[in-house]
Chains A and B, each alone.
Chain A
Amino acid sequence: MSNRRSRAAFAATSVVLTIAVAACSSSNSKPSASTPTSGSTPSAVGSTTANGGTSDVKAEFNAATKGVVNASTKTGGSLNYVATDDFDSLDPARTYYAYSIDFQRYFSRTLMAYDAKPGIAGAKAVPDLATSAGVVSNGGKTITYTLKDGIKFQDGSPITSKDIKYGIERDFAQDVVPGGPTYNKDMLDQGQNYPGPYKDTDPNHLGLKSVLTPDDKTIVFNLATPYSDWDYVMTMPTAAPVEAKVDLDPAKGGAKYQNNVQSSGPYMIQSYEPKKSLVLVKNPAWDQSTDTIRHQLVDKVTVTMGLDSDDMDKRVISGQADIEIESTGLQAAQQTEVMRDPAKKANADSPLTGFTRGFALDPAVPELANVDCRRAIEYAANKVDLQTARGGATGGGDIATTMAPPTLPGYQSFNLYPSGPDNTGDLAKAKDELAKCGKPGGFHTNIATTNKGKGPKVATALQAALQRVGITTDIQQFDSSGYYSTTIGTPSNVHSKDLGIMVMGWGADFPTGYGFFSAIADSRKILQAGGNSNWAEVKEPTIDAALDDMTQTTDADQKAKDVQTIDHKLMEQAYYLPFTYDKALTYRNPRLTNVYVTNAAGMYDFVSIGTSDGK
């Protein structure tokens, strides 16, 4: 949600061609999209990229953002991921970091999942455990899925609709398994106050009334209001099936489930040492014929955790590790090293992560109540300095002029506040706006930021830029752990501390207009008790109406129009000051096959990756 790690991402996988892992042994073939390999299984996946690139692109800088690098069906070998820290959780109900959700795809299948394609095509939800997308009835309020045959947990037990319902019910037990997104709870409780399966008095612990399982193959969701993005909610690991018999075992379930996850995907957890290592091996119960998204190219997947950032970079660049799984980008020194060496640069990518970095400008803080005062800030900002503070064009991102990132379906480029020919600010316009708001000499407010990472640098850059037109600011740094949820997530705290300007970053939990804008722009979602993400306290009937329209319509063009309506209104009223579309310079070991960036995750699609050397 509020930062790079927290976005629900997912990625599906893809590859390229038909990957007959089960049937084929090691193969060095490197086929094109039009020449599927023999022994194809139903996992054949199309391979055109969103921007028209070919599937098998030459390994060069940013190649993985254009297509599939080193497309291959070769099997065998071990993938070696590295990380500075542990996953937020391996429990599908408790994971929220973008890379964790992306990684879940190795062992958690869901009714729907992101398509196995690079670019924007990979941001489309397609059937996974379900035979088709949700069948909508009852005016958009009832959605029905039918499960495929032959889908199993790692212990061989068939996956039924009841397992999916049980997995969803776990999301209600926030007192036992907190941490994950709460879309299921928010939309399916409907006044029942369902306590979750652990306190459920139903003999089968399936007492949630809004979800029905008339038979083992059918699951029916009854929503209170129509919600056309439901297929996307069903891509989240929070909708993964969970075996009640495992989760209700006091020794294995509940909070302990994160150490005992039962796989439904192509890989299963062989060993997990928190904050040290994770090893996945092939899941023998997984059947390629039931999965059109994933495959089993490599024999083993290891994640080494707890590394120093520089150490991690060196391991990847030297080829001793394959990919930095957190995907937050190389450190500054290694960025320079990679960008200056053409051979290394060819193995690097700088994808858009789907995040927009910016500031929230809160009209509820008296100094910013007047829209012209907020517009003065928009004009005075020096976006080049802000971009530099984020790490420059390659490591930080492209200069942003809209809240919607270019990866969002419906995105439209526009700039209501041109900040001069060199993007360093239009001071004359800023002063005009100050005069209009009745404060020609400027005013004073505070800038809130976390005390870690790039936040303080960004705040300092804005402070210097605003000073040029007489807007004086004090930077207030806050502990990062509660910054989004409590410090700027509690409106009363923002008001009492006079936090007119707040450093923020935002990415969608799922790549739809509603997924991106609902939390940061819906006036009905301003949460007074904390956890508020509508930091600018946006209250615009036009925006609320567009958001409602998005939930009703299934027409992509209409949804795109709604995205543009909201984005224009937000910028016109200067609720937010976006300055970069986030990018991260990442490095892929040249031995890897089937590497591409999907817009669903804004990072590599982990589950598709194989090795060319079989090691």
Chain B
Amino acid sequence: MITFLIRRLIQAVTVLLAVSIITFGLFFLVPKLAGADPATLFAGKVTNPDALNGIRIKLGLNHPLWRQYWDFIGGFFHSRQFDNGPDKTTCPWPCLGYSFRNDQSVSTLIADRFPITLSLAIGAPILWLSVGVLVGRTSALRPRSFADRSSMLVALAAVSLPVYFTAAVLRLFVVFTWHWLPDITYVGFTKDPVLWGKNLLLPWISLAALYAASYARFTRGSMLEVLNEDYIRTARAKGLRERTVINRHAMRPVGTLIITLFGMDVGQLMGGAILTESVFGLPGLGKLGVDAIAAHDLPIIMGVTILAAFFIVAANIVVDMFYAVIDPRVRLS
């Protein structure tokens, strides 16, 4: 187990390092090769030599690229200083960069936005996992029944609709036409748990509709395959109760597949649900990244990209560990 973890952690660090090099190169090296000066992106409307020079000094853009990358990586291990003469700014550890535009460390901005993305990543997966697996399981147990056909039809429709469409339609009717819910304004869980849930209900449903449909179809397909396996027939022949056959023997291999998907999806979601956050105006990590792209705020883009990669890598490790729990044939070695 420990060997497995160490090996996976080394792999994870390697992947993250590669991601950081690629993103750094993409956002700092490519513009430089194209003759663009990143300082102009932060100078605002008036670009003058003094302003550009001040920005270069403060952000370290006057150093060679390798040094800039080295300083950036250094921020993962210690705090960094962004100084321009008497104007001094400390970026506390872990420093993922400094947003000149906002005069804030990227870590602070991410920490501020993370609860919103986390809130999305808690409620929506619970919804889509429970609904998707339940519907898929029910359909698989009654193939070609009315319930099976209708639920698969709905699933097909839901999976075909992009989340921004589902979200916009839900909002149009629930908020603006029927006035069942007020428009979305994020309220922290610790501040008011009821309002927190109320405000996130529509984003959860929008996200879950898309994913639940996929999960239902995956669950149904996998279960149908498993139910035809010899060991299921053997279990039934031995006189086991149908519930035991399904829950203990049929669902287990299906669970492996679902957990793989679930882990990856949640990992991806933790990096920011860009469309959902944008449509509902939720200032989470995805929205932070999109806004940063629009504003050419390179340090934020870098920070959010690396964090998103981190969550996916971490989710992979967790999924691998869960394999061993679900499937005894898998050993973490």
Q: Which residues of A does B touch, CB under 8 Å?
A: 1-2, 6, 85-86, 88-89, 94, 96, 174-176, 178-182, 198-199, 250, 254-256, 258-259, 273-276, 304-308, 310-312, 314-315, 318, 320, 481-482, 485-486, 529-531
Which one of A2, A273, A306 has the highest number of Cβ atoms from chain B below 10 Å of its Cβ? A306
Cβ contact within 8 Å between B104 and A178 = no
- Take A250-B86, A274-B104, A304-B185 as given contacts and tell me if A182 and B288 are in contact as well, using a CB distance cutoff of 8 Å: no
- Pick the contact of A94 from B44, B48, B279, B283 — CB < 8 Å? B44
Which one of B49, B51, B171, B280 has the highest number of Cβ atoms from chain A below 10 Å of its Cβ? B51
A180's nearest neighbour on chain B, judged by CB, is B46
Cβ contact within 8 Å between A250 and B281 = no
The 7 closest A-B pairs by CB, nearest first: A175-B54, A179-B44, A178-B51, A174-B50, A254-B87, A307-B281, A274-B102
Shortest distance from the beta carbon of B68 to any chain A beta carbon, whole Å: 19
Cβ contact within 8 Å between B47 and A311 = no
Cβ contact within 8 Å between B89 and A255 = yes
Chain A residues lying within 8 Å of B112, measured Cβ to Cβ, are 273, 276
Bound form: Cα–Cα A275–B283 in Å: 8
Binary contact track B42-67/A, C-beta < 8 Å → 1, others 0: 01111111110111011000000000
Bound form: Cα–Cα A481–B84 in Å: 24
A305's nearest neighbour on chain B, judged by CB, is B283
Chain B residues lying within 8 Å of A311, measured Cβ to Cβ, are 171, 279-281
Q: Does B147 contact A (CB under 8 A)?
A: no
Shortest distance from the beta carbon of B84 to any chain A beta carbon, whole Å: 6
Q: Does B9 contact A (CB under 8 A)?
A: no
Cβ contact within 8 Å between B86 and A179 = no
- Pick the contact of B103 from A255, A314, A481, A529 — CB < 8 Å? A255
Cβ contact within 8 Å between A198 and B86 = yes
B280's nearest neighbour on chain A, judged by CB, is A311
Chain A residues lying within 8 Å of B41, measured Cβ to Cβ, are 481-482
Bound form: Cα–Cα A482–B39 in Å: 11
Q: Does B287 contact A (CB under 8 A)?
A: yes
Shortest distance from the beta carbon of A598 to any chain B beta carbon, whole Å: 22
Chain B residues lying within 8 Å of A259, measured Cβ to Cβ, are 103
Shortest distance from the beta carbon of A431 to any chain B beta carbon, whole Å: 41
Bound form: Cα–Cα A274–B287 in Å: 13
Chain A residues lying within 8 Å of B168, measured Cβ to Cβ, are 310
Shortest distance from the beta carbon of B289 to any chain A beta carbon, whole Å: 11
Q: Does B183 contact A (CB under 8 A)?
A: yes
Chain B residues lying within 8 Å of A258, measured Cβ to Cβ, are 103
B53's nearest neighbour on chain A, judged by CB, is A175
Which one of B40, B45, B46 has the highest number of Cβ atoms from chain A below 10 Å of its Cβ? B45
- Pick the contact of B45 from A6, A175, A320 — CB < 8 Å? A6
Bound form: Cα–Cα A311–B168 in Å: 9
Known A198-B87, A275-B288, A306-B287; 10 more pairs at CB < 8 Å = A96-B46, A176-B84, A178-B43, A179-B45, A179-B46, A199-B85, A250-B86, A255-B58, A258-B103, A481-B296
A-B residue pairs in contact (CB < 8 Å), sample of 29: A2-B45, A85-B294, A88-B45, A175-B57, A176-B84, A178-B43, A178-B48, A178-B51, A179-B43, A179-B51, A180-B46, A181-B46, A250-B86, A258-B103, A259-B103, A275-B283, A305-B283, A306-B287, A308-B278, A311-B280, A314-B171, A318-B183, A481-B40, A481-B296, A482-B36, A482-B41, A485-B40, A485-B46, A531-B47
Bound form: Cα–Cα A486–B53 in Å: 16
Cβ contact within 8 Å between A306 and B283 = yes
Shortest distance from the beta carbon of B69 to any chain A beta carbon, whole Å: 23
Bound form: Cα–Cα A486–B172 in Å: 42
Shortest distance from the beta carbon of B267 to any chain A beta carbon, whole Å: 24
Bound form: Cα–Cα A86–B287 in Å: 13
Chain A residues lying within 8 Å of B102, measured Cβ to Cβ, are 86, 274-275
Chain A residues lying within 8 Å of B21, measured Cβ to Cβ, are none
- Take A85-B295, A315-B183 as given contacts and tell me if A178 and B46 are in contact as well, using a CB distance cutoff of 8 Å: yes
Cβ contact within 8 Å between A96 and B44 = yes
Chain A residues lying within 8 Å of B45, measured Cβ to Cβ, are 1-2, 6, 88, 96, 179, 485
A250's nearest neighbour on chain B, judged by CB, is B88
Cβ contact within 8 Å between A256 and B103 = yes
- Take A180-B44, A304-B281 as given contacts and tell me if A256 and B89 are in contact as well, using a CB distance cutoff of 8 Å: yes
Chain A residues lying within 8 Å of B53, measured Cβ to Cβ, are 175
Chain B residues lying within 8 Å of A88, measured Cβ to Cβ, are 44-45
Cβ contact within 8 Å between B291 and A85 = yes
Shortest distance from the beta carbon of A484 to any chain B beta carbon, whole Å: 8
Cβ contact within 8 Å between B46 and A182 = yes
Bound form: Cα–Cα A85–B104 in Å: 16
Cβ contact within 8 Å between B288 and A175 = no
Binary contact track B81-119/A, C-beta < 8 Å → 1, others 0: 000111111000000000010111000010010000000
Shortest distance from the beta carbon of A453 to any chain B beta carbon, whole Å: 12
Binary contact track B151-165/A, C-beta < 8 Å → 1, others 0: 000000000000000
B51's nearest neighbour on chain A, judged by CB, is A178
Cβ contact within 8 Å between B104 and A320 = no
Q: Does B182 contact A (CB under 8 A)?
A: yes
B41's nearest neighbour on chain A, judged by CB, is A481
A91's nearest neighbour on chain B, judged by CB, is B103
A94's nearest neighbour on chain B, judged by CB, is B44
Q: Does B176 contact A (CB under 8 A)?
A: yes
Bound form: Cα–Cα A264–B290 in Å: 35
Which one of A96, A176, A181, A318 has the highest number of Cβ atoms from chain B below 10 Å of its Cβ? A176
A95's nearest neighbour on chain B, judged by CB, is B44
B109's nearest neighbour on chain A, judged by CB, is A274
Chain A residues lying within 8 Å of B55, measured Cβ to Cβ, are 175, 178
Cβ contact within 8 Å between B87 and A255 = yes
Bound form: Cα–Cα A486–B47 in Å: 9
- Pick the contact of A176 from B48, B87, B287 — CB < 8 Å? B87
Bound form: Cα–Cα A1–B44 in Å: 12
Bound form: Cα–Cα A485–B41 in Å: 11
Bound form: Cα–Cα A318–B53 in Å: 47
Bound form: Cα–Cα A590–B87 in Å: 46
Bound form: Cα–Cα A319–B53 in Å: 46
Cβ contact within 8 Å between A276 and B283 = yes
Bound form: Cα–Cα A276–B283 in Å: 7
Chain A residues lying within 8 Å of B40, measured Cβ to Cβ, are 481-482, 485-486
Bound form: Cα–Cα A180–B55 in Å: 15
Bound form: Cα–Cα A255–B278 in Å: 29
- Pick the contact of B291 from A89, A254, A275, A318 — CB < 8 Å? A275
